[in-house]
Structure 1
């Protein structure tokens, strides 16, 4: 199965975690980076295009600043990132140089991908770099980021980059062999699961939470990244990044780590952007009839199906769509602001012009701008 899937892979996003790139003291492990770059060069020789999402800047900066533990305050994190990012890029540049390859730094915040024009600009930049045979190395712009514009972790960022880069595979390098039935650090009976056909609630529960003194993500964030990539029709392979030659083995189709199969029916790239890149700014509560129509018939959301509006959002804003139980089941871009939608609750489409004095359209959220989660 793996070899068949990998036949169609021409562009791959490789996410490399902090614990892969650092040694026991938290400093950059140049030997590991050298092995990784050797594997990247081998992929390049096979005419595979590679985009790297690399953690490690804060960890590298922490070591340089003499901090004994992960910085906790935002200024300390930003200071560590500021000094560590240059060290990280220099390590990649020096490790790629013997192979005749160059690295290019791309630093992002979520605002860069939320704005559709900036999203497309980021895609064009990656395409141009790959066209020149250069390896983009992407990281979150930790020196300026605040909570409102954070990706949260580089696992999430890597899943979003698969959409931006229009990649065919997400390869996650972590510090364990793959996805286990339980945490192998604490449960000696945990077993490696080589194939995950679908990310169910049981799989998400087995992933547990974060447990790291170096990185920001745990197994839960990696499974969430695989789920997001899968919704885009992109498979994910998770492997032990410390293992020599692991990238080449994974891309050959060897039975290493865990393969997460993509969703049977993926979202188009714009709907994936709506579902997973945009941050919702409000909630639209709908009745059971509207929920059923949206879920089963793929229709637009009419004002007659709306029962309540929560939060504030502008026209074109991303909103959560929730059923009578309050559970979110879809997201979409609203044709009307929160104030306008509140005035249209339960009304017929034919009444919109009379109520507002103007008319953007007959629906609150058009089906082309609506994604069932």
Structure 2
């Protein structure tokens, strides 16, 4: 049990009133913090007795490095032999997926999994770095027990992107979502009541206090640490890239939080971060349509050949002759099999301009789109489209 401050406690420095207590969940033992409402005095009382986290073994981080600045064809072929997510891909697809990265990091490994992957990699000549799970995870502060507020959180440890978390809290005064990227960037926004109710209905149907861990593990996905705090109790479970067919409750919990965050996030940095995580969490085409004048279609994250049919449908929904701004400013890459789809869309009767990231520009040029139609700035792209 956690120790708690006395109800009639006052500040030992100035005698002022002590504010609400706060329960802090941390990897190796939590505690209760409280502060004075009149001065800057603050105190933390550590947990006594077993920590909520102590039932879980230490987790490990592993990084595989290759000999050059980018992975070679031979090294990509070797990775296919022991990385589960690469076995169904060609050597060229593995190499393209890894892009310009000089190594590959995977988090949240159990010790047996870490040792097996390390052995497999070193047997094939890779350099491997191993360490206990780092302390750089963004810290989550959940609502205090007995406050009437429920908390639902997922810590995100993607293979190729920055760590973060999504925390949704709901109480007597309404709901709020906090979205963190690393330890410095954080946005907190209120949740409209109708949207919050829809989220709570989704989560309640999953019976979140009994969702089990998912034992499946790999190297090219996302490690997820999920936290639940309700009046009935607390719960934590782990999952690695849960799919709706294999782990529907785990996938449903993470997906509900992710969609809620996508719906309410407003700051550009937060939105871009969530878009980058889309490929780890959702299977649908990463696209948004903005009913502006001219209309804007935004594609983001990673596009693969599995998105081909949805992409055809999206392009088919554009009216003949309609001017369109295609916003690919947060696109990180695409499969080359999609190039003909982009080429045909650009060649349609309506005029199209493209706002691009550097990877998007490279892919579009390879697909035959002229550099004259590519812009880094959205306003420049709009102005060019209006000029005809």
User: Normalising by the residue count of structure 2, what TM-score does the alignment of the two structures yield?
Assistant: 0.27
Computing the radius of gyration over CA atoms, which structure comes out larger, 1 or 2? 2
User: Normalising by the residue count of structure 1, what TM-score does the alignment of the two structures yield?
Assistant: 0.28
Query: Which structure shows the higher strand fraction?
Result: 2
Higher relative contact order by CA 8 Å / sep ≥ 6: 1 or 2?
1
